[in-house]
Amino acid sequence: MRLSLFLTASGSVPFDHLPELKGAFHRWIGHNDDLHDGLSLYSLSWLRGGRGGRGGLWFRDGAHWFISAHDPQLIHALVGGVIREPDLGAGLRVRDARILTPPHFQDGEQWFRVLSPVFVKWETEPGKPADHLTYHDPRTDELLTATLRHKLRQAGLDDAGAAVRFDRDYPGAKTKLFRYKKVQCRASQCPVIVTGTAEQIRFAWCVGVGNSTGLGCGALE
């Protein structure tokens, strides 16, 4: 299930605003140790509708933000939080919210654009900083698949046959550098192809692909 939020912006929004989005999400949900510390069976998109300018991003016609989750109860809880506290911070405020049900998928392959860049980490040695892999690296397909299957098992769903790969033939694919709390990250603005049953594909649409979906990466359109 997906929550589509329409936001107003009172001024420029800092480029490094992902912590504000994540903070609003957790305030709306309230105290929940499983959500705060556990595996993210949900995904947050980046804000849409902005243009970069002096001082940050400008949303003259408002911003659009998506939050998706495997558990419909999480989405309904978010709606209650939005009603209680529509201000996100950074000058952003919710003016409208709509709940969207997942599209009707079929078994096989499904091509997805991304609502936020796909972040893939490769840990070479325990305790050392992870490498950030992009769609150019063929290892990413194996890592994307492993992450999706792990989340499927965590949700109590069958993971057999599920797979994710980048569409490297897409002409507009590119990498994107972003910062999260002073950490520079490199991700891929590249469509993905999810293979599996209709249930597995629907799950991927809800939870996103790759690492850090709970921080704003790997949300699927």
CA gap 87, 100 in Å, rounded: 22
Q: Which alpha helices (DSSP H) does 90-138 contain, by range? A: none
Question: What is the pLDDT at residue 148?
Answer: 98
Question: What is the pLDDT at residue 39?
Answer: 85
Question: What is the pLDDT at residue 54?
Answer: 79
Structural contact between residues 217 and 210, judged by C-beta atoms closer than 8 angstroms: yes
Q: Residue 175, class by beta-carbon neighbours within 10 Å (0-12 exposed, 13-18 middle, 19+ buried)?
A: middle
pTM: 0.93
The mean pLDDT of the chain is 93
Question: What is the pLDDT at residue 35?
Answer: 60
Q: What are the respective helix, strand and coil percentages of the chain, to the nearest 5?
A: 25, 35, 40
Intervals of the chain under pLDDT 50:
none
Domain boundaries defined on the chain:
2-100, 108-215
Question: What is the pLDDT at residue 92?
Answer: 95
Question: What is the pLDDT at residue 44?
Answer: 97
Query: Topology of 2-100 in CATH?
Result: Alpha-Beta Plaits (3.30.70)
Q: pLDDT tens digit string along 141-155?
A: 999 999 999 999 999
Q: Which CATH architecture has domain 108-215?
A: 2-Layer Sandwich (3.30)
Same topology for domains 2-100 and 108-215, yes or no?
Answer: yes
CA gap 14, 67 in Å, rounded: 20
